[in-house]
Amino acid sequence: MLKELGIDAYEKLGIEGVPITLSGVAPINKASIHDLSFCSYEGEKAIKSIASSRAGVILCKKSMRLELGRMQKQKQQQCLVFLENPRLILMHIIKLIYKEKKSETPGVSPKATVSKTAIIGKNCSIGELVVIVLFNLE
């Protein structure tokens, strides 16, 4: 995905050749092994945040490469990717992810519940498990 964003200059630490399946994006302190996260901190605060995180992939500041490299030897299940601006790259990745999801065809999912009196525009998409209820507040 980084190459898709035109980013060729990055380094990563982690187990080479072992794929990590990501299913979401989460804050560094709430992420699971299947989440992508980022750390914009530097110094001791970055080390503590990353060491306590369970994120599968963490985008980190390039300046933290040496400090985090020592820690990574003990914590092999994560992939750390070193970039100039991890927050900006994460925002681009999120935009790519949701752009793909946004391209749903208009209509109402059979798994959605929509009030019979609701008026839905012709180009709207209502996804799975969405509930639309109208209340009369008079």
Report d(CA 49, CA 12) in Å as an integer. Answer: 18
Is residue 86 scored above 80 in pLDDT? Answer: yes
Share of the chain above pLDDT 90, in %: 21
4 vs 9, more confident? 4
At which residue do the structure tokens 């996804």 appear? 127
Quote the crossing angle between the two packed helices 65-72 and 43-52, to the nearest 10°: 30
Tokens read off for 18: 């072992």
Is residue 83 scored above 80 in pLDDT? Answer: yes
Share of the chain above pLDDT 70, in %: 74
Q: What is the pLDDT of residues 20-79, one digit of tens each?
A: 777 888 999 999 988 889 998 999 999 899 989 999 889 999 888 888 776 665 555 688
Q: What are phi and psi of 3, to 5 degrees?
A: -65, -35
Q: What is the pLDDT of residues 30-47, one digit of tens each?
A: 999 888 899 989 999 998
State the CB neighbour count (10 A cutoff) for residue 47.
17
Least confident of 5-19, 39-53, 77-91, 92-106: 5-19
- Amino acid letter for position 10: Y
Tokens read off for 115: 């009030």
Q: Report all structural domains of the chain as residue ranges with CATH numbers, in order of start.
A: 3-102 (3.40.1390.10), 104-138 (no CATH)
68 vs 136, more confident? 68
7 vs 133, more confident? 133
Report d(CA 115, CA 96) in Å as an integer. Answer: 32
Rounded mean pLDDT of the chain? Answer: 80
Is residue 6 scored above 90 in pLDDT? Answer: no
